[in-house]
Structure 1
Amino acid sequence: MEKKLQDFLSSNLLNKYLVGETSLEESNEVEHFISNYPEAAEAFDQLQDNLEIIAKAGAVTTPDHMLEDILESLKTPSDANAKVIEMVQHKKTTPWYSIAASAAAVLLAATTFMLYQKNLELNSENNVVVEEIFDLRSDIESNNAKLDALSRELLKLNNPDSRKYVINGNERAKDLKTVAYINSVEKTSMIDVITLPQLPEEQQYQIWAELQDRMVNLGILDESDRKLKQIPYMEDALALSIKIGTKGDTTNENDTEVAEISLKDK
C-alpha cells in the first residue's frame, strides 16, 4: 500500500485536481487518497497554499477610473452620442498561472517523495543498528558466561584442596599427556587433555578409575575437545588409567592400557 501512496504522490493528479482538470475517475482516486492518507491530505493542503501565494503575487488591482477613461477615449466629436457596447469578458486561467501551479505541484510531490524515501532509509538503518546492538549484547552475555565458567574452573584448580596429577603415556602412546585435578573436599574431578596420539577410526581413548574391587569407566577422551572436562568423582579410587578401546564399547576393562597414575601417593 505504501508503494501505491508513493506512486500517487509522484504523479500529477493532485495538481490536476486542484485546477479542475481531472476526470471523474481521477477525482475519485484523489479524494480517496486525501481521505485515507494524512500524507496525501498534507500534500494537497500545501499545494493549495502555494497556489494561493502565487495568485496573490500575480494579482494587480485595477484603478476605479480606468473603465471611464476607456469609454471616454472611444468617443469622437462626430459621434459624441454613439453608444459603446460593453463586452463582458469571461475569466480565464492564464497560461503562466497554470504552468506555475503545475511546477509547484511537481516540485512539492518530488520533495515529498524524496523525504519519504529518506525516512524509509533512515528507518531501515535504525533497524540494522538496533539488531547489531542486540547481537552485540548477546555476544557480551555469552562471553561473560564463558568467562564466569572459566573463572569458576580456575578457582577449582587453585583451590588448596585440589590435587594435580600429570598422566603421561607409556611405550604404547609416548606423546600422550593429560592432567587430572581432584578435590576430595568438594568431591570434584576434572581432566585437561594436553596431547593424544591419533587413533584408527574405530578406536577411542577412555579414562578409567581403579577401585579396590573393580574398574569404573569415567568417560571418553578426545583431543578435539582440548579443555578442562568434568569427570565423575570416585571417592575410593586408587588410580586413574587411560585405555584404548573400541568405539561404542565402554564396558571392556581389559582394553589396552596406555597410561596410569596412582592417587594414593600424594
Structure 2
Amino acid sequence: MEQKLQSFFKSGLLDSYIIGTTSVAESLEVEHYIDNYPEVKSEYERLQDNLEILAKADALEAPKGILDNVFKAIETPLEKNVVALNPKKQTPWYSIAASAAAILFAVTSIYFYNQNQILQNESLIVDAEIDDLRSDIENNNSKLDDLSRMLLKLNNPDSRKYLLSGNERAKDLKTVAYINPVEKTSMIDVVELPQLPPEKCYQIWAEVNNRMINLGILDEKDRKLQSIPYVEDALALSISIEPKGGSETFADEENAVAEISLKDN
C-alpha cells in the first residue's frame, strides 16, 4: 500500500490536478485516490490551501467616480479665478477640459503607481510562498523515499525480527530489532521506553565473545524506526540503564533491563 501511494505521489498527478492540467482519465484516477486514501486527501487539502496564495485578482480598475470627483474639485475654483483675472474674457471650454484631463492623468498615475508597488510586494511574498511549497514537496518526497527504503529492508526475507521486552525494572519497555545478516544491516523500532530520571538514559549493546559492544543511546523521545550499527557474529542484544550520555563499557549486568539471544534465531 505504501509503495502504491509513493508511486502516486511521485507521478505528479496530484499537482497537475490542482492546477487543472490533467486529462479526464487522470482526473478520475486522482479523485479515486482522494476518495479512498486519507493520506492523499490530506495532501490534496494542504496543496489547495498553499496554492490559494496564487489566486490573485485580475488587473485593478480605477475607483468608480474618480473622474467626477476631479471635475467637481477643479470646475468652480478654476472658472472663478479666470474671471477674476479677466472679467471680459471667457476661458475656452477646451482649456478647462485640458486642465481637467491633466489633473486626472496625474491623479490616476499616482494611484496606479501605488497599486503597482503593492502588487510588486505581493509578488515577492507569492514567490517566497511558492519556494516554501516546493520545499515542502521535496521534503515529502524525501520522507517517502526514506520510508520506502525502510519498508524494503523490513520486508526483505533475510531480515530477522527480535522483540526486546523489559524486566521488572522496566516492565513497559518494548523495542523491536530487525537484523539482516546478508545485507549486514540492523534497525531498531523504539515502541515504548519508560521514563527515566534526567540523569539516566537507555543504552543498547551487542554481545560478541563475552564482550559488550556499545550500539548507541535510545531516547524515549525518538520513538521511530532507526538504524543501529551492525555487529558481525553478535550473540545477543541487551538494553541497560546508564548515566546520562551513556557508558563506554558495560560495567554492571544489574543495569540490564532487557536482553534477547540471537544465536537460536
TM-score (norm 1): 0.62
- 1:257 maps to 256
- 2:243 maps to 246
SS in 1 for 2:130: helix
- 2:136 maps to 139
Q: Which amino acid aligns with 2:264?
A: D
What is the rounded CA distance, in whole Å, between the counterparts of 2:152 and 2:163 in structure 1? Answer: 19
What is the rounded CA distance, in whole Å, between the counterparts of 2:101 and 2:250 in structure 1? Answer: 93
Q: For residues 61-210 of structure 1, what are the structure 2 equivalents within 5 Å?
A: 94=91, 96=93, 98-210=95-207
What is the rounded CA distance, in whole Å, between the counterparts of 1:191 and 1:257 in structure 2? Answer: 17
What is the rounded CA distance, in whole Å, between the counterparts of 1:240 and 1:246 in structure 2? Answer: 19
What is the rounded CA distance, in whole Å, between the counterparts of 1:158 and 1:232 in structure 2? Answer: 19
What is the rounded CA distance, in whole Å, between the counterparts of 2:116 and 2:248 in structure 1? Answer: 68
Do the aligned residues in 2 keep the contact of 1:218 with 1:232 (CA within 8 Å)?
yes
1:208-246 alpha-carbon deviations (Å, 9 max, x no partner)? 001113111100001101111111101110000000011
What is the rounded CA distance, in whole Å, between the counterparts of 1:107 and 1:93 in structure 2? Answer: 23
What is the rounded CA distance, in whole Å, between the counterparts of 2:161 and 2:208 in structure 1? Answer: 19
What is the rounded CA distance, in whole Å, between the counterparts of 1:230 and 1:253 in structure 2? Answer: 21
Task: Indicate the structure with greater helix content.
Answer: 2
SS in 2 for 1:172: helix
What is the rounded CA distance, in whole Å, between the counterparts of 1:141 and 1:207 in structure 2? Answer: 34
Report how far residue 119 of structure 1 moved: 2.1
What is the rounded CA distance, in whole Å, between the counterparts of 2:128 and 2:180 in structure 1? Answer: 44
What is the rounded CA distance, in whole Å, between the counterparts of 1:143 and 1:262 in structure 2? Answer: 38
Report how far residue 100 of structure 1 moved: 3.2
Q: Larger deviation: 122-131 or 224-233?
A: 122-131
- Between the aligned residues of both structures, percent identity stands at 70
Q: What is the root-mean-square deviation of aligned Cα atoms in Å?
A: 1.7
Q: Larger deviation: 125-134 or 191-200?
A: 125-134
SS in 2 for 1:150: helix
SS in 1 for 2:237: strand
Q: Which amino acid aligns with 1:178?
A: T
Q: Work out the number of aligned pairs and report it.
A: 175
TM-score (norm 2): 0.63
Which structure 2 segments of 5+ residues have no match? 1-88
1:76-107 alpha-carbon deviations (Å, 9 max, x no partner)? xxxxxxxxxxxxxxxx8837555433322111
Report how far residue 172 of structure 1 moved: 0.9
1:12-63 alpha-carbon deviations (Å, 9 max, x no partner)? xxxxxxxxxxxxxxxxxxxxxxxxxxxxxxxxxxxxxxxxxxxxxxxxxxxx
- Runs of 4 or more off by more than 4 Å in structure 1? 95-98
Question: Which is higher, the Rg of structure 1 or of structure 2?
Answer: 1
Which structure 1 segments of 5+ residues have no match? 1-91
Report how far residue 115 of structure 1 moved: 1.9
Report how far residue 131 of structure 1 moved: 1.7
